[in-house]
Structure 1
Amino acid sequence: MTRWLTALLALLLIAPAAKAVDEADLLPIDEAFALTARAPERGRIELNWRIAEGYYLYRHRMGVEVLSMGFKSDPLGLPDGIAYTDEFFGDVETYRDDVTAVLTGAAADGVPSIELKVKYQGCADIGICYPPHTRTLRVALPADAGVAPAALPGAGGIDLLGGTNPAIAAGGLPLPENQAFRFEAIVDTADRLALRFTPAPGYYLYRERNSVELQAEGVHAGEIQWPPSQPYFDEHFGNVEVYFDPVDAPLPLQREHTRAVPAVLRVTFQGCQDEGICYPPMTREVALHLPAGGTVAQSPAGAPSGANPFSAEGKGESFAPEGAPANAPTLWFAMLLALGGGVILNLMPCVLPVLSLKALSLAQGGGNHRKARSQALWYTAGVLVSFAAVGAAALALRQAGLALGWGFQLQQPGVIAALALVMVAIGLSLSGVVSLGASLAGAGQSLTEKTGPAGDFFTGVLAVVVASPCTAPFMGTALAFAFAASPAVAIGVFLALGLGLALPFLLIGFVPALAARLPRPGAWMETFKHLLAFPMYLTAVWLLWVLAKQRGADAIGLALVGAVGLGLGLWLWEKARFKGALAKSLAVLVVLAALWPVVVVQRMPAPAKSEAVKEGVVAYSAERLAQLRRDGRVVFVNMTADWCVSCKANERTVLGRDGFRDALERAGAVYMVGDWTDVDPEITAFLESHQAVGVPLYVVYPKAGEPKVLPTLLTQAIVDEALAEAGR
């Protein structure tokens, strides 16, 4: 029974270290190591190997066993070899060109020949080793001293098995390692992976000769929990524990947080062919996505790992949510960040069309302070209710196992199509084609009329909806805090963000000096109202462009049919304003029919993604990023989406310019882009691993060390500095 622990099998051509080498490059083993045997004396047998150029034999892998009765042998005598540090065996001695081993002993009288079993192993300089080889030879002994007859036929002796390794002959040719030992890994729970090892029939896996490594931010692998194994006697390790059948082994995880993160699992193990050869240690890698949740590991003192440094002194109580990063802000600081982010959101391009409506409404107030306060309060109410609703929906979906962030609703093509129709309807109203009254919209009087709390409320709702494509400074930190906090605290942060968005109009409503600076009502307002229709139409065009990216040209056609139908329905409603209920019912039916394309678009499958990417751009994948990091490459990761206005602004002003490409070249960096326009769990996991709740997200990975997250709004100077530092 032959099982050689560190032997490299004959088919190691397909092993990772030798994949590029062709089997045809190797000589047959009997040509690479031509063995002959002769007996110059009855008590002395010489075994000679003529070794081909570019090949070598291991001294410690050579041995001989006398199979015949009548010859009592001494240990095999071998000359000193060439000292060599081998990748698999460590410090060894090798032979090249030619080597002779001597077996001495005492032959009984009348014994004409003896049978020997010779074992040896060698390698080629191209990086491939043969499996341990066995030859059985019969050597004729001289009749008396001084006579040295020629060896019997058979290359210096009778080769009873024609040079074939009997172990391999008995067990069949060794399988490639990927077929001999299959490995799979899946996520079982947030705190545990499920590993499966499947040896092929006639192969076994060592229980103890394995290791595991997990590359995931803030998550570490524990010990593999092996099931009961089978005792087995191994030629090289003695009594060992092995598995001949498929093995399911849980791998517990130790978490420093509860966020979702991408991960790469690397497992090394070793196994053998029963009655055959042993494989060198094998390493397999699997890319995984660890979901949010799980249990945060406790420190020896009992405090959560990564405890918040902003905890309340003297109380041992932290205002930061469990699972937040160690540098997480306190609750009140997060609220302040949210308030500031909401104020800055007013300056983002996605919100400007709706804010124009609000400015028109305030101007129409004509300096009436009571009306200004009412409008500001109703607008604020609409903003706060909408922010609370969006926050509650995101939190509920995350609790259900869906990792979602800011702007998640814009990943749904039905929402995009519905928003486009809303913009068309508002544009028609501002153009004077229709008047969106209370009875039709069910939400109050027209947005453009002088009076109507419901109109102000709906304007606030619309401002929040269209603000979702934008991420203002400070928002990211505050929202990351919210998504890691309890639901009550999270809703508080969302309300603070909404309060910041509404704050400028609250100030105008409650500070008369500011309201007095507004222009007085006049005929100009009608013209201004008509002009405001065109930003709405442009917003609808932009939304349709996003829809094309998500679902293709067919979705655009359906949405345009819906827009035409909506315009017809609203026009019929305007004509039926002073007619009977039948005419109004017909108009309502046409409007409802116009909304049907929204449902159809939502159900349409996403078109196949094109594999083509821009020159110099690498599509994001967790596995590719992990490989680039192992290779010591600088990587600039850009997480973007077609509906993200802030993303597109950065790409136009910084990332799409020659200065950025020059900075990448100077740093030797890889530019990797992830598209979050549609739902993508892999990108969502990446966002969560960096405590980001949406796009844009820009991360620079240095050659070695921790990655750096860049601000939401980029400048060329920020990018240049980050890449230069990463490339050092």
Structure 2
Amino acid sequence: MCPITGRLAARLPFLMLVLLCLAALAQPLCAQEDDGLLPVTAAYRLSADASTPGVLKLHWEIAPDYYLYRGRMKFKPAEGVTLGEAAFPDGERHHDEYLGDVEIYHHAIDASVPYTVAPGTTRLRLGVQFQGCHEVDPKICYPPHTEQLDLPLPPTGTVGARPGSLGAALQQLGSSSRTGGSDVPLPAEQAFRLDALAQDPHHLLLRWTMPPGYYLYRDQTKLHLRDGRGLTLTPRWPAGTRKDDPHFGSVTVYFNELDLPVAVGGDLAGRTRLTLETSFQGCEDGGLCYPVMTRALDVDLANATPATGTPAMAAPEAPPVSAQGPLQTSLWAALLLALGGGLVLNLMPCVLPVLSIKAVGLLESGESPARARAHALAYTAGVLASFVALGLGILALRSAGHALGWGTQLQQPLLVGGLALVMLAVGLSMSGLVQFGASLGNTGAGLAARGGAAGDFFTGVLAVVVASPCTAPFMGSALAYAFAAPAASALMVFVALGLGLALPFLMVGFVPALARRLPRPGRWMETLKQLLAFPMYLSAAWLAWVLANQRGADAIGLLLVSAVFLALTLWWFERSRGRAGLVRAPVLLALLATAVPLYGLAQLPTPVRAAQADTGVVAYSPEKLAELRASGTPVFVDMTADWCVTCKANEHTVLDTAAFRALLLRTGAVYMKGDWTDVNPTIAAFLEQYHSPGVPLYVVFPRGGGAGRKLPTVLTSSLVARALTEAAR
């Protein structure tokens, strides 16, 4: 490496980069993107009136562009309650693609259900199940939804309470599961409905459903297992809404609906059921705050059925998964795959910017065998240290319940902005506009060599950071093994990846025959170094584009302000070279001013993404996938991210082509895409289900049901055509 580049990292904010990585990994998860559909309880508002003895009156308010099926309404009484035949008005005739000729309702519907109760019964308890659809784009049908009603029975002989009386207010309090505008707060059981199911023995899903205007506190929610010795619960909280609360200050709350994945750790051998106790607290917005509520849920692990004693939650059917899991690979096979994946990673486009620095270092290492070995060892130390740190961070945060994987650090705007500035600074140095690490004088060859080693070490760190958007062949299986294996084995896989990435540099340093084949150093290398600065500028531009997709135009404005202050820092650094320390003090102030806008990036909200412009692409949701599979439609699922270079390469060469669109038409398949640019718990659960350490992930679901087929991370047109053709049979 040349003196300029060799001393590059001695003054670069190396510690700042490391802190950026750690801070980005520790940030809370972000919310899912909204598809514009109403929650089921907002699309169909159900209210109930039991003020007339022996008759339950039901009323649904149906939102525009939604409808309810008449034939999908069912009633399940609690013990002590007997229901008669429900009376419905005639509906509109409608031919349904899946159900045939049916009757549906728009706008509103009134129904009545006769009932009798056993002696001593004081409350009318029953479940009301209904199902409906959204009839304009995006056209979807909701799974069957159940509301649990718990209504006070009127005294015998009364027809109803006088309007405006206390009795009428009490009837109103218990009469509706979704009043949507009543001045009287709902009972706690109706304001905060809790369901639970087991997706598999080690993964539960809790769902709170609240009417409009009610919210749930995140930090006041606690989970506990009865007789759960040796078991642990790890919730994966989605991002909520920040609220200035008069009781707790600035808190995170959830409106309308909260889906909370919970991982169950420990040995579940012999257990077929779990009893989950949860305590939580919530409020009516601008009104009553409820005391802490505690509920127990009995979860069936064997059949993955909804919890008993609560409203039945219509969860989407989990797609079948191939029996092949990550730990079916042996440790030695995983290490070989990791070594090969790290070696191939050198050829991926994401590592190209760092290859610019490595190329200059390789050429200069021809000065002597000892210098070549020093370059190789320092660079390898930086790569290995970074892979071990990255592995430890990912494994620690995943064990704490966070959905992290390969490349997920680039989901954090703070790190993306920081990397863009680092790329810009490195590019300016390679262009000769600024020189880092130059001393006040010649302090000896030992100190100069020390600075060169620091530069090589930093180059290795940077190579690992910028390599994360790429997933090379062989890497997927190795990383999947690492994320499921014990910690010691997982770290060995990360070390093998690092060795593969550093292997070409090590071979040049320790195999003299290879080193002798390198061109001899000369003046032409300065021109080459300046030319290789432009990939660094392109990387900074690409990172700015990723940041714009994550946080919008405001983020680009903050990044540009930070870049201006960085330019000021570097300009003053060069102007003050060789002067007294007091003259150089403004450099630190300018560097601090550079970091301030970066902090602002972490505070920006996630923008609402526009709807898909391409009508041939369906946004991923578990419900939509279950609906398509139930109808016998083959589905091609693409999990991608804006920062994933491998994803973009596959899209450019295979998925965004006329040939792929023609293939979809020929096979009748649906192209479904999930965007993991920001942290998304729903997509993270899908990745985990298919043992994928990150994106890209491609899964093809066949027409006749059965397990989804996972495709390689690097696609070809022939591979995709063969998979979809087989799925359509």
Tell me, what secondary structure is at the counterpart of 1:20? Answer: strand
User: 2:299 & 2:480 partners in 1: Cα distance?
Assistant: 27
User: 2:318 & 2:604 partners in 1: Cα distance?
Assistant: 27
| Structure 1 residues 497 and 265: CA distance shift in structure 2, 3 A | same
Structure 1 residue identity aligned to 2:381: A
> For the Cα contact (< 8 Å) 1:374–1:453, is it kept in 2?
yes
What aligned pairs does 1:577-616 form with structure 2 within 5 A after superposition? 577-616=577-616
> For the Cα contact (< 8 Å) 2:700–2:727, is it kept in 1?
yes
- The Cα of 1:360 is off from its aligned counterpart by 0.7
What aligned pairs does 1:239-254 form with structure 2 within 5 A after superposition? 250-254=297-301
| Structure 1 residues 284 and 596: CA distance shift in structure 2, 3 A | closer
| Structure 1 residues 571 and 268: CA distance shift in structure 2, 3 A | same
User: 1:167 & 1:589 partners in 2: Cα distance?
Assistant: 82
Q: What corresponds to 2:31 in structure 1?
A: none
User: 2:560 & 2:272 partners in 1: Cα distance?
Assistant: 55
Q: What corresponds to 2:709 in structure 1?
A: 708
> For the Cα contact (< 8 Å) 1:573–1:587, is it kept in 2?
yes
2:308 counterpart of 1:286? no
User: 2:111 & 2:329 partners in 1: Cα distance?
Assistant: 67
Q: What corresponds to 1:331 in structure 2?
A: 331
Q: What corresponds to 1:576 in structure 2?
A: 576
- The Cα of 1:184 is off from its aligned counterpart by 3.9
- The Cα of 1:365 is off from its aligned counterpart by 2.5
- The Cα of 1:627 is off from its aligned counterpart by 1.7
Tell me, what secondary structure is at the counterpart of 1:546? Answer: helix
- The Cα of 1:585 is off from its aligned counterpart by 1.4
> For the Cα contact (< 8 Å) 1:197–1:247, is it kept in 2?
no
> For the Cα contact (< 8 Å) 1:195–1:249, is it kept in 2?
no
Structure 1 residue identity aligned to 2:431: S
Structure 2 residue identity aligned to 1:422: V
Q: What corresponds to 1:20 in structure 2?
A: 104
> For the Cα contact (< 8 Å) 1:687–1:694, is it kept in 2?
yes
User: 1:702 & 1:184 partners in 2: Cα distance?
Assistant: 34
Count of matched residue positions in the alignment of Structure 1 and Structure 2: 504
Q: What corresponds to 1:496 in structure 2?
A: 496
User: 1:686 & 1:419 partners in 2: Cα distance?
Assistant: 29
- The Cα of 1:426 is off from its aligned counterpart by 0.3
| Structure 1 residues 439 and 406: CA distance shift in structure 2, 3 A | farther
> For the Cα contact (< 8 Å) 1:354–1:459, is it kept in 2?
yes
User: 1:459 & 1:25 partners in 2: Cα distance?
Assistant: 68
2:195 counterpart of 1:185? yes
Instruction: Please give the per-residue CA displacement for 1:14-35, whole angstroms capped at 9, x wherever unaligned.
Output: 9998661579999999xxxxxx
> For the Cα contact (< 8 Å) 2:343–2:501, is it kept in 1?
yes
| Structure 1 residues 325 and 216: CA distance shift in structure 2, 3 A | farther
Q: What corresponds to 1:548 in structure 2?
A: 548
- The Cα of 1:325 is off from its aligned counterpart by 2.2
Structure 2 residue identity aligned to 1:638: D
Q: What corresponds to 2:353 in structure 1?
A: 353
Indicate which of 87, 105, 110 corresponds to 1:10: 87
Tell me, what secondary structure is at the counterpart of 2:637? Answer: strand
User: 2:645 & 2:111 partners in 1: Cα distance?
Assistant: 64
Q: What corresponds to 2:651 in structure 1?
A: 651
What aligned pairs does 1:360-371 form with structure 2 within 5 A after superposition? 360-371=360-371
| Structure 1 residues 23 and 552: CA distance shift in structure 2, 3 A | closer
Structure 2 residue identity aligned to 1:710: L
- The Cα of 1:254 is off from its aligned counterpart by 3.4
> For the Cα contact (< 8 Å) 2:414–2:598, is it kept in 1?
yes
Larger relative CO (CA 8 A, sep 6+): 1 or 2?
2
Tell me, what secondary structure is at the counterpart of 1:285? Answer: coil
TM-score, normalized by length of structure 2? Answer: 0.61
> For the Cα contact (< 8 Å) 1:416–1:547, is it kept in 2?
yes
2:373 counterpart of 1:373? yes
Q: Where do 5+ consecutive residues of structure 1 fail to align?
A: 30-165, 199-214, 228-245, 257-263, 271-281, 291-305, 308-323
> For the Cα contact (< 8 Å) 2:634–2:670, is it kept in 1?
yes
Q: Where do 5+ consecutive residues of structure 2 fail to align?
A: 1-53, 56-76, 114-155, 162-170, 180-186, 211-260, 278-292
| Structure 1 residues 197 and 689: CA distance shift in structure 2, 3 A | closer
- The Cα of 1:327 is off from its aligned counterpart by 6.1
> For the Cα contact (< 8 Å) 1:469–1:644, is it kept in 2?
yes
- The Cα of 1:606 is off from its aligned counterpart by 1.2
> Percent same amino acid at aligned positions?
51
- The Cα of 1:653 is off from its aligned counterpart by 0.3
Instruction: Please give the per-residue CA displacement for 1:115-169, whole angstroms capped at 9, x wherever unaligned.
Output: xxxxxxxxxxxxxxxxxxxxxxxxxxxxxxxxxxxxxxxxxxxxxxxxxxx9998
User: 2:401 & 2:706 partners in 1: Cα distance?
Assistant: 31
The structure number with the bigger radius of gyration is 1
Structure 2 residue identity aligned to 1:466: V
Instruction: Please give the per-residue CA displacement for 1:502-561, whole angstroms capped at 9, x wherever unaligned.
Output: 001111111111111111111110100110111100100000000000011111111111
- The Cα of 1:563 is off from its aligned counterpart by 1.1
User: 1:570 & 1:632 partners in 2: Cα distance?
Assistant: 61
User: 2:111 & 2:679 partners in 1: Cα distance?
Assistant: 54
2:714 counterpart of 1:717? no
User: 2:540 & 2:302 partners in 1: Cα distance?
Assistant: 45
Q: What corresponds to 1:528 in structure 2?
A: 528
Query: RMSD of the TM alignment (CA)?
Result: 4.5
User: 1:25 & 1:606 partners in 2: Cα distance?
Assistant: 38
Tell me, what secondary structure is at the counterpart of 1:350? Answer: helix
